Structure 1
Amino acid sequence: MSSWDLPPDYPLSSDFVRRLKSALATGDKDMVQELICTEAEPVDAVIELANDDWMKEPSAQLPTGALLGLWTLEYKRELTTPLCIAAAHGHVLCVRHLLSRSADPDASPGGRGALHEACLGGHTACAQLLLQHGADPDLLNAEGLAPLHLCRTPASLGCAQALLEHGATVQLECGPDRVTPLHVAAQHGLDEHAQLYLARGARVDARNGRGETALSAACGAATRSPDEQARCLRLCALLLRGGAAADARDEDERSPLHKACGRARPSLCTLLLLHGADAGALDYGGASPLARALQTATCAPPAAQHRTVQALLNYGSPSVWPDAFPKVLRTCAQVPAVVEVLFNSYAQLRVSESWLEVVPEEVYQMHEPFYRSFFALAHTPRCLQHLCRSTIRKLFGKKCFYLVPHLPLPETLQKYLLLEPEGVLH
């Protein structure tokens, strides 16, 4: 019989658990330490902190999911030990005390051991103590993840270092997706963790169960704050310098560039293009990076909404099929710089006055100078300067970004050739 099946030493209904949960909820560190270090017996006592097994109580009100037929025959039950609680909250003195009483550093009745808890919380001193007392650095939790896979925050860098110093396997593939610690670092934008793992022999292009490399995982990860985006950019630059393939495809044939475009991250897209990413790559659904960039253009920072589209076109991405331009206009109408850059990538594209219907009136009014110049082209051919630009760009092809800056032209004309938006069309 497993620890899960045995009755806990302190069930949820006990006075001990009631006081412990109250102390945890109020942040009463002294009370938590008093309870788990002096009252809890034996030292590895199993403590039940939660149990939503409503099926054992006939009078219990059924949760909404069950009433809707969504019940999955599973319930949440949280079992833990004094050592796990101490490690989870960074109580170093308590961890040391419990270990001195021969607490088992690998005990995990709830599927997660004290070392897992320490790593999740980024409590380096606790992790070091546990490892010094024989904790298994590769112990898997109930989800099949090792402690290194739970180092998911900048604060956990010290835990990762301690784990590796005590023999943790840097290339261990864990969980249902068979991720390595490097994948985890990439998903969370942890550039210092990634540098540590690479220095310890992590394979830069190892693939997870979905065929993703660490670079692919990093490019597809959600980043919100400027600090997170900066860390992710440093991480991807580190991976590329370490030999990561800029164009590695996952099981859906999506490249890192597809994912960066889908996340509206122009600086990352430019970095990938500089390292040889294919601007015209198609995934299994037939979508190009440009298609992904156009879909998410409105999500990019206002000052850079057109940058990804501009970079892709300057690195040789085919433009949108002309008949599909009205769909682009409908999607990107509120970002006229994107419409301008894309429109200028055609030598000649006939403007239809019927397209006016897809531009909301309030958007037209907000950007009237641009849209007035745009729809004026329904009756006028493009100017000679634009036709010359198109000829030069066609001649340079995928090397526009590299060759245009070498032309003996003023900077303003170089920018013009590279589709820098002007705010109106000619």
Structure 2
Amino acid sequence: MSSWDSPPDYPLSSDLVRRLKSALATGDKDTVQELICTEVEPVDAVIELANDDWMKEPSAQLPTGALLGLWTLEYKRELTTPLCIAAAHGHVICVRHLLSHSADPDARPGGRGALHEACLGGHTACTRLLLQHGADPDLLSAEGLAPLHLCRTPASLGCAQALLEHGATVQLECGPGRDTPLHVAARYGLDEHAQLYLGRGARVDARNGRGETALSAACGAATRSPDEHARCLRLCALLLRGGAAADARDEDERSPLHKACGRARPSLCTLLLLHGADAGALDYGGASPLARALHTATCAPPAALQRTVQALLNHGSPLVWPDAFPKVLRTCAQVPAVIEVLFNSYTKLRVSESWQEVIPEEVYQMHEPFYRSFFALAHTPCCLRHLCRCAIRRLLGKKCFLLVPQLPLPETLQTYLLLEPEGVLC
């Protein structure tokens, strides 16, 4: 009988569990240590910390989803051991005490072992203690994840180092997505972890179950803070220096550039383009990186979207088909700088006054100077300056970004050639 089916040594209703949960919730380390080290018996006792088995409790208040028939028929029961609790909260003294009393370092009644918990919490000292007492560095959790795959924060770098020193497999593919530890580091923007894994022989272009390389995973990951942006950029630069293919496609034929554009990350897009990424690549749905960028218009920061589109066009991205421009105008109406950059990339695009219908009135009023200048072009021929810009850009082609700054021209003309928006069209 599995520990799931067997009654726990300390069920949720027990006095010890109530006191233990209260101490954990308040961060009372002394009480946690006292309970685990002096009251829990045996040393590998199974402790129940949570149970939402409402199917077995007729008086339970059912969640709305259950009443609607949408709730899962399974229930969650959180079973653990004293060693897992101590490791998860970084209680080194407790971990040492339990191990000295022959606690099993690989016990995992709830699906994760103590080593998994220590790595998730970034507790290096606990990780080293467990490994020194024989914990399996490649032990798989119930989800099929090894400890290295749970090193997901900057604080877990020491844990990853300890695991590798004790024989963890750096190229282990596991979990539902068949990720390697390098994929995990890439997805969480952990540049120092990635450097560690590459130094230990991780293959920079290894594929996971979705056909992604680590570079692809990094480019598709969400970043929220400037620090996360910077770490991700450093990580991608590291992968590219290590030989990562800038144009590696996943199972949907999406390149890292597609994914970076889908997040409107201009610095990352520029890095990929400078390493030879194809600005005109099409995924299985027929979308180009430019199309992926434009799809973010409603959620991306306007400046980031504008710089992303500008970078693509300055590296030779194919233009939006002229007949599709009204659709782009509708999608990007709230970001007139993007409309300006796109419009200026054409030698001649015939503006129709009927296009004004696709722009919400409140948006038009908010950006009236720009849109007034835009629709004035319906009756105005292209100016000579714009035609000269187009001729030079056509001559330089995909190398505009690199060659324009080398031209003996004033900076204002260089930025004009590189489609820097001015706020109005003329």
Shared fold (TM-score, shorter chain, > 0.5): yes
Distance in 1 (alpha carbons) for counterparts of 2:399 and 2:27: 60
Cα distance, 1:298 vs structure 2:
5.0
- Point out the more displaced range, 324-333 or 156-165: 324-333
Cα distance, 1:369 vs structure 2:
2.1
Q: CA offsets, 1:105-141, max 9 Å, x none?
A: 1111111100000000000000000000000000000
Distance in 2 (alpha carbons) for counterparts of 1:303 and 1:337: 8
Over 6 Å off, 4+ runs: none
Distance in 2 (alpha carbons) for counterparts of 1:305 and 1:292: 11
Cα distance, 1:160 vs structure 2:
0.4
User: Which residue of structure 2 aligns with residue 79 of structure 1?
Assistant: 79
State whether residues 252 and 284 of structure 1, in contact with CA within 8 Å, keep that contact through their aligned partners in structure 2.
yes
State whether residues 206 and 213 of structure 1, in contact with CA within 8 Å, keep that contact through their aligned partners in structure 2.
yes
Cα distance, 1:15 vs structure 2:
1.0
Cα distance, 1:276 vs structure 2:
0.5
State whether residues 348 and 382 of structure 1, in contact with CA within 8 Å, keep that contact through their aligned partners in structure 2.
yes
Q: CA offsets, 1:161-193, max 9 Å, x none?
A: 000000000000011110010000011000000
Q: CA offsets, 1:204-251, max 9 Å, x none?
A: 011111111100000100100111111101111100001001111111
- Point out the more displaced range, 406-415 or 144-153: 406-415
State whether residues 262 and 296 of structure 1, in contact with CA within 8 Å, keep that contact through their aligned partners in structure 2.
yes
State whether residues 305 and 337 of structure 1, in contact with CA within 8 Å, keep that contact through their aligned partners in structure 2.
no
Distance in 1 (alpha carbons) for counterparts of 2:66 and 2:191: 43
Give the number of equivalent residue pairs: 426
State whether residues 265 and 305 of structure 2, in contact with CA within 8 Å, keep that contact through their aligned partners in structure 1.
no
Give the superposed CA RMSD. 1.3
Q: Work out the percentage of aligned pairs sharing the same amino acid.
A: 92
Distance in 2 (alpha carbons) for counterparts of 1:130 and 1:273: 45
Gapped regions of structure 2 (runs ≥ 5): none
Distance in 1 (alpha carbons) for counterparts of 2:251 and 2:295: 22
Distance in 2 (alpha carbons) for counterparts of 1:159 and 1:69: 43
Distance in 2 (alpha carbons) for counterparts of 1:65 and 1:134: 44
User: Which residue of structure 1 aligns with residue 164 of structure 2?
Assistant: 164
Distance in 2 (alpha carbons) for counterparts of 1:254 and 1:192: 26
Q: CA offsets, 1:301-324, max 9 Å, x none?
A: 444431111110111111111111
User: Which residue of structure 1 aligns with residue 142 of structure 2?
Assistant: 142
Q: State the TM-score, normalized to the length of structure 1.
A: 0.97
Cα distance, 1:94 vs structure 2:
0.7
State whether residues 186 and 194 of structure 1, in contact with CA within 8 Å, keep that contact through their aligned partners in structure 2.
yes
Cα distance, 1:402 vs structure 2:
2.4
Distance in 1 (alpha carbons) for counterparts of 2:201 and 2:272: 24
Distance in 2 (alpha carbons) for counterparts of 1:97 and 1:366: 67
Q: CA offsets, 1:139-170, max 9 Å, x none?
A: 00010000000000000000000000000000
Distance in 2 (alpha carbons) for counterparts of 1:156 and 1:182: 14
Distance in 2 (alpha carbons) for counterparts of 1:382 and 1:216: 41
Q: CA offsets, 1:373-409, max 9 Å, x none?
A: 1111000111011112112222222222223223332
Distance in 2 (alpha carbons) for counterparts of 1:87 and 1:146: 16
Distance in 1 (alpha carbons) for counterparts of 2:379 and 2:71: 63
State whether residues 293 and 305 of structure 2, in contact with CA within 8 Å, keep that contact through their aligned partners in structure 1.
no
2:79 is paired with a residue of what secondary structure? Answer: strand
State whether residues 237 and 271 of structure 1, in contact with CA within 8 Å, keep that contact through their aligned partners in structure 2.
yes
Change (3 A) 1:145 1:411: same
- Point out the more displaced range, 134-143 or 290-299: 290-299
Cα distance, 1:71 vs structure 2:
3.5
1:243 is paired with a residue of what secondary structure? Answer: coil
Gapped regions of structure 1 (runs ≥ 5): none
- Point out the more displaced range, 108-117 or 26-35: 26-35
Q: State the TM-score, normalized to the length of structure 2.
A: 0.97
1:280 is paired with a residue of what secondary structure? Answer: coil
Cα distance, 1:335 vs structure 2:
1.3
State whether residues 47 and 79 of structure 1, in contact with CA within 8 Å, keep that contact through their aligned partners in structure 2.
yes
Cα distance, 1:79 vs structure 2:
0.5
1:62 is paired with a residue of what secondary structure? Answer: coil
Cα distance, 1:366 vs structure 2:
2.5
